[in-house]
Amino acid sequence: MTEKKQFRAIKGTRDILPPDSSLWNWFEQTAREVFESYRFHEIRLPIFEQTDLFARSVGAETDIVSKEMFTFRLAEGFQGSAKDGEQGVPQAGEQVSLRPEATASTMRAYIEHNMQALPGNVKLYSVGPMFRRERPQKGRYRQFYQLNVEVLGQSDAPAIDAELLEMLLVFLKRVGLTRTTLYINSIGDKNCRPQYVELLRAELRKVKNSLGPDSQRRIETNPLRVLDSKLPHEQEIIAKLPRISDHLCAECRAHFAKLKNELKLRGIAYEENWRLVRGLDYYTRTTFEVTAEGLGSQNAVCGGGRYDGLVELLGGPPTKGIGFAIGSDRAILSIEESGNLPVLPGLDVFVAWMGEPTYPAAVAIARKLRDAGLSVELPGEEMKFKKSLNLADKLGARYALVMGSDEVASGTFTLKRLADAEQQKLSEYDLLEYLESEKRGTRG
């Protein structure tokens, strides 16, 4: 006899089940409401892109591209587009990857659809899954979820950076993440950053033998990433390294000073962190990170920065840009651990109908209640009265609407509040009015 195989979610992935999915929907909907109040608009991006897009934008030497992406080749017979062979369109046999982040895809869409022709700054956000083949740990998965926000245009005014940070903190406060810390830094630009990188590389070479294998490798490939190291024995060494804040050009110093003034204007508290860097060449000036309590040492829920050279790097026109990504998995975990969980909508009405002749009237009233915006559970089969109320209670219903032949004949309904067993008889009109006002929270 063949043994039945039990299928399970692949390691590093997970199912988000009710009621957790309601929390996720609330989190994402709150993001949409906050972002759109600042005139951001949603962009929906493909799950996979040409591998070279990520290699060019994220960097071929980064761990993301070299170790962590899920990459595969397009099958023979794949048609890239109606214009087969068009430059830039993926063809059969070419490598594509599941997206490890969303910024590269957003830049590709910005260029492809000539979005620089739109009036004002182009302000975009996206919501969805990302994929990285990293070691799963608390709050980190191989399929994880992010909120991504980008501002693209012709200006790099510090006020743009500050308003973006204001919006970010408004959102985090709205979802209950109040014990957060904003860290900021400036990493210079093409006029001053290369000299700092070479100075840092020279200093790191002097202490190379005291560093771990990853940091030793990064000395030549990406020395800024050494500053990200969390290895205990490297911390004392890193603390003595040159700080980029001491090597900024006059323009970058002025930009950073104006950013701090803009944050002060908005009443935004922050801490400067000289080790907060981005190891990719296109990042310039402003970098930032937000940490939240309750996530242990890996407590960052958001990171971002200015990337004024990225659109050009990918073949687009000269464009200034800044953005951030919020790790939804980690942010929601922090919300849960903080105890600041929202009161989410539950089941409003359980229709406890009895007797087959009553069923058509139950179907009709359930439809009217749902049309009024109420959540309604209508059993598909007749149930005994006590069993109906027990099920309504287990489902967390606020009310049970009791319907028998007498109620249908008289045109009145018995509405029972399950929290205290208080009940009242109401006409259909009064029932709808009462429940709608309850839903709006206008009754005491």
Q: Where are the beta strands (DSSP E) in 294-354?
A: 300-306, 320-327, 349-353
The CATH fold of domain 20-75+86-192+248-338: BirA Bifunctional Protein; domain 2 (3.30.930)
| Contact between 276 and 239 (Cβ < 8 Å) | no
Q: Which strands make up the sheet holding 180-186, listed edge to edge?
A: 41-42, 122-131, 143-153, 320-327, 300-306, 284-292, 180-186, 271-272
CATH fold match for the domains 20-75+86-192+248-338 and 349-439: no
Question: What residues pair up with 306 in beta bridges, in sequence order?
Answer: 284, 322
* C-alpha distances out from residue 113 to 90, 108, 126, 310, 316, Å: 17, 8, 17, 16, 11
User: How many Å apart are CA 415 and CA 137, to the nearest integer?
Assistant: 48
Report how far apart the first and last C-alpha atoms of the chain are (Å, whole number).
Answer: 64
| Contact between 379 and 351 (Cβ < 8 Å) | yes
**pLDDT of res. 295:** 56
Nearest residue to 19 via CA among 294, 345, 330 = 345
Nearest residue to 389 via CA among 368, 414, 426, 425 = 414
**pLDDT of res. 39:** 97
**pLDDT of res. 175:** 93
Q: Per-domain residue ranges for the chain?
A: 20-75+86-192+248-338, 349-439
CATH superfamily, domain 349-439, is Anticodon-binding domain (3.40.50.800)
User: How many Å apart are CA 219 and CA 205, to the nearest integer?
Assistant: 7
**pLDDT of res. 82:** 44
| Contact between 189 and 249 (Cβ < 8 Å) | yes
Nearest residue to 89 via CA among 70, 108, 115 = 108
pTM over 0.85: yes
The vertex-217 CA angle with 216 and 218, nearest 5°, equals: 90
pLDDT tens track of the chain, all 444 residues?
Answer: 567 888 898 888 899 998 899 999 999 999 999 999 999 999 999 999 998 888 887 765 556 665 688 888 877 666 654 455 455 666 667 888 999 999 999 999 999 999 999 999 999 999 999 998 877 666 678 899 999 999 999 999 999 999 999 999 999 999 998 888 999 999 999 889 889 989 999 989 998 888 888 888 888 888 888 888 888 888 988 888 999 889 999 999 999 999 999 999 999 999 999 888 876 667 889 999 999 876 555 578 899 999 998 999 899 999 999 999 999 998 998 888 888 788 888 899 999 999 888 999 999 999 999 999 999 999 999 888 899 999 999 999 999 999 888 888 888 889 999 988 888 898 888 888 888 888 776 444
Block residue for tokens 């060019």: 56
